[in-house]
Structure 1
Amino acid sequence: MEKVAGRQDEQAQMKQLLLSGKAEFLAIYGRRRVGKTFLIRNVYQKELVFQMTGIANATMAQQLANFSSALQSAEKSENLRTIPGNWFSAFEQLKGFLENLKASRKVILFDELPWIDTFRSGFLSSLEHFWNSWAFARTDIVLVVCGSAASWMLNKLIHNKGGLHNRVTRRIRLEPFTLKETEHFFKIKNIVLDHYQIIQLYMAMGGIPFYLNEVQPGLSAFQVIDKTCFTKGGLLTFEYENLYRSLFSKAERHIAIIEALAAKTQGLTREEIIRTSPLVNGGTLTQLLQELEESGFISKSLPFEKKVKTSIYRLTDQYSLFYLKFIKNSKAAGSGTWLSRIDSPAWRAWSGYAYENIVFAHIDNVKRALGISGIYTETSSWLSAKKEAQIDLLIDRRDRLISICEIKFSQNPFIITKSYKAELEKKLAVFRSETKTNKSAFLTMITTFGTVENTNSLGLVQNQVTMNDLFN
């Protein structure tokens, strides 16, 4: 099978389960298209004896027919099986099949588990019985379940309060590729792109393997974006609606939050989300925000020295942001569409926000570049009381320093002008005045190609981080 790019920690955890000598119950969840199934099938290709993938919006009868077909395929039999009438009978059939196998380790996969568990189907209680009454006591079973609906995986399975309580022995939340993993992915596919080109693609697609698989050798980032986003039938021209509606019931509520956040680069508090969307305060909003956060579409951060109720929500799904800024309602299409927008006001605003998202997702790389990996830190943002000054990223360090980070995306080395120097000095002064901090504040520039050393930067900029550091 095709080689897995990155995922070293996840692969090690999964392989370790094969050596435990006891039954294992592994739950893997993560954003749709992030590569869960590909990872499972590659790591367990020799041990995988049964696999079933749920069908979206199917009935219980259709899911049972799907199960029967999967079991027949696993048996390598041409004889048609009797479709079980319920999930209890289905798992009895599965037990009979597994008991006749001589393999020392047998991996069973139920993919897109939330889709299989249809309303009043009894699937989850039957899975519970299968595990508790039979599989748990064996030494040859590794049960793997995965799903894109992270909230379902957490609430119905991992935090189950019934018979499956504490039965999951290992859980893995699969995140999008990092920049380093993305680079590795391209190398496996014999695609040669420099870091700036990869950053361009990552800002539009994020580290989503299914999207990145559209990149072909010999094409520039601009050409790939044109092909996938602005050409009729391009993969990402119609992905947005499918993405949310396949994960969430009444997805228009989740989309309302996403679109409210996309319109505000500084992020929104819970109260601001209520004011700028058709949603109302209450438990439902809490659930919607949790579902989006667990699925990897948004992030929640606490402003510097603030309380939880002032937490800032931010749209971090790169594709959703790109779609709403440039694809939705776009009249332009075809070759050269994306290149024609470069350096427009809309492009500059988007690229700054998208690059900030990349930096926030690679905080560990920033810390390594600053030489503070071994120091306890807390990251946050900051906005002055009168909204006259904003800091993109603060790294509050145990060594009594605060790294005040300015994140700038540019096509060339960044130049600090005289007016921008004055703006930075004012920002630092307002921060010290309002926060009353007694820690030293070091200005750190996080850019693409570095900051030009000139009379305006000397004595002001203490540290630099470039895009190359984000790949380490």
Structure 2
Amino acid sequence: MIGRKKEIAELNKLYDKNSAEFVAIYGRRRVGKTFLVDETFAGRITFRHAGLAPNKDDAKGQMKNQLEHFYKSLLLHGMEECDKPKSWLDAFFLLEKFLQKIDNGSRQLIFIDELPWLDTPRSKFLQAFEGFWNTWACHRKNLMLIVCGSANSWILAKLINAHGGLYDRVTHEIKLAPFTLSECEEFYKSNNVKLSRYDIVQSYMIFGGIPFYLGYVDGELSLAQNIDNIIFAKNAKLKDEYDRLFASVFENPDFVKSIVNLLGKKNAGYTRQEIIEKLHLTDGEGITKNLKALITGDFVVKYVPFGFTKRESHYKLVDPFCLFYLKLVKELKTTNEKFWQQNTSSHLLSSWRGNAFETVCFNHVEQLKKSLGISGVNTSSSAWSKRADDEEGTQIDLLIIRDDNVINMCELKFYSGEYDVDNKYYKTLMTRESLLQKEVSPKTVIRSTLVTTFGLKKNEYSSVFSNVILMDDLFD
């Protein structure tokens, strides 16, 4: 398995304990939650079940279908035929009886995938699940229960942060994050896909670190050919993925997409109040719940822009696939099945790469810190802009604000060769540094830092940068 070493170690440690364990795994759709459990516990799962996806066309029959599916899972695992359960209390009672019958004293691992989908309206699923754990399962030292799902808001609200009968019952939680660039590289190599790091970064700009998406990349094709096949072809594998992302995870997918669509329009993001105003919403629980779910799913980050207060926290879209879709699929609406191959050197894609590289860097701040030798220093990361009033306005892609009285003012440049600083850009950088210096304490040192692909070309202006971080450093 690629990556996930920490998670695998945690799961195996819990498996080897002599105590009842209740593990909740959550994360973005397609990030590999099921694969993690399957690979870690191959041949060791006593009973497994996966909920059926919600079906709006058969709302009344959802509970019946879920119960019948659960019953059939029990049969597949060896339970003798009996009356089908008519409620979730019946269903979990059957599971208890089955596990007791086959109990030989060894570890029993129960894996319920897409658990939130089982909680259909008026099904009383949660009450029965609570009874299963509190009355029976938690008292069995040889039992380990793993649940997961992509509906992160449900996992958090109903399990991890529950206030009722399941309060403090989860013994361990794992949030599965997308791959880093290094893990993407390792994944491609394991699939015999040969890409340069320059192309791997570009693939990350589109697919992010989502293993499911990366798995569609064909090693016999160029990156451009792959992008056309996966995104722009008539029957492209990910043609409808953007809508599926939200339809399968959120109760009100159209509402969530309206938030994401808005955040995709501004690199720095918006405050909660700005989101409410621009979408003409009422200030209620719905916006709070969905913003939290987007953050938990690694679609959005919440941060405080430099010079702002916590009340002015911004929500920024950082999911590469969503950003790519909104800019180059939804907005363009092209029907050209060879779009990427025919436009790879165009100004449109060059401009997009420049913006997308900012997201790559924003998602790899830990690697930037390591390259700077400040992994042990407490930091915060932020964009910064100053509106043009009496002074000239400016914008800085990324600030790394450090507790050791240093700020790294990062310029992020995705180039096909060495970056060449000219006189005009030199003056721009000096102006930015001067404006930023007025906003910070006199004891703070500002270091202009270049993050780029292949390095900095030496000339009379290149000394403006105190630090240069290369693309290769992002793979560390």
Normalising to structure 2: TM-score of the pair?
A: 0.94
Match of 2:93 in 1: 92
User: In the alignment, is residue 281 of structure 1 matched against residue 283 of structure 2?
Assistant: yes
1:64-463 superposed matches below 5 A: 64-75=67-78, 80-101=81-102, 102=104, 104-328=106-330, 329-335=332-338, 337-386=339-388, 388-458=393-463, 460-463=464-467
Contact in 1 for aligned 2:307/2:439 (Cα 8 Å) = no
AA partner of residue 391 (structure 1): I
Match of 1:44 in 2: 41
1:11-26 superposed matches below 5 A: 11-26=8-23
Q: Which runs of 4+ in 1 moved over 6 A?
A: none
User: In the alignment, is residue 469 of structure 1 matched against residue 466 of structure 2?
Assistant: no
Distance 2:440 2:413 in 1: 24
Distance 1:252 1:240 in 2: 11
AA partner of residue 214 (structure 1): Y
Match of 2:66 in 1: 63
Query: Offset at 1:72?
Result: 0.9
Contact in 1 for aligned 2:268/2:383 (Cα 8 Å) = no
Distance 2:82 2:224 in 1: 51
Distance 2:355 2:316 in 1: 10
AA partner of residue 308 (structure 1): K
What secondary structure, in the 3-state scheme, does the structure 1 residue paired with 2:302 have? strand
What secondary structure, in the 3-state scheme, does the structure 2 residue paired with 1:444 have? strand
What secondary structure, in the 3-state scheme, does the structure 1 residue paired with 2:466 have? strand
What secondary structure, in the 3-state scheme, does the structure 1 residue paired with 2:427 have? helix
Distance 2:146 2:70 in 1: 15
Distance 1:376 1:197 in 2: 32
Contact in 2 for aligned 1:448/1:466 (Cα 8 Å) = yes
**Root mean square deviation, CA, Å:** 1.6
Greater CA deviation, 166-175 or 185-194?
185-194
Distance 2:420 2:276 in 1: 39
Please give the per-residue CA displacement for 1:242-285, whole angstroms capped at 9, x wherever unaligned.
11111112211111111111111232222332343343433322
What secondary structure, in the 3-state scheme, does the structure 2 residue paired with 1:237 have? coil
Distance 2:355 2:76 in 1: 48
Distance 1:425 1:9 in 2: 43
Distance 1:246 1:320 in 2: 15
Query: Offset at 1:384?
Result: 1.6
Please give the per-residue CA displacement for 1:170-197, whole angstroms capped at 9, x wherever unaligned.
0001111111111111122122212111
Contact in 2 for aligned 1:197/1:220 (Cα 8 Å) = no
Contact in 1 for aligned 2:418/2:454 (Cα 8 Å) = yes
What secondary structure, in the 3-state scheme, does the structure 1 residue paired with 2:99 have? helix
Contact in 2 for aligned 1:10/1:172 (Cα 8 Å) = yes
Contact in 2 for aligned 1:253/1:279 (Cα 8 Å) = no
Contact in 2 for aligned 1:72/1:81 (Cα 8 Å) = no
Q: Count residues in correspondence.
A: 465
Query: Offset at 1:223?
Result: 1.2
Structure 2 unaligned spans of 5+: 56-61
Q: 1:467 to 1:81 in 2, by over 3 A?
A: farther
Greater CA deviation, 269-278 or 48-57?
269-278
1:1-12 superposed matches below 5 A: 4-12=1-9
Distance 1:226 1:362 in 2: 27
Contact in 2 for aligned 1:23/1:136 (Cα 8 Å) = yes
Structure 1 unaligned spans of 5+: none
AA partner of residue 431 (structure 2): K
Query: Offset at 1:305?
Result: 3.8
Distance 2:398 2:323 in 1: 20
Contact in 2 for aligned 1:316/1:357 (Cα 8 Å) = yes
Normalising to structure 1: TM-score of the pair?
A: 0.95
Distance 1:100 1:47 in 2: 17
Q: 1:333 to 1:432 in 2, by over 3 A?
A: same
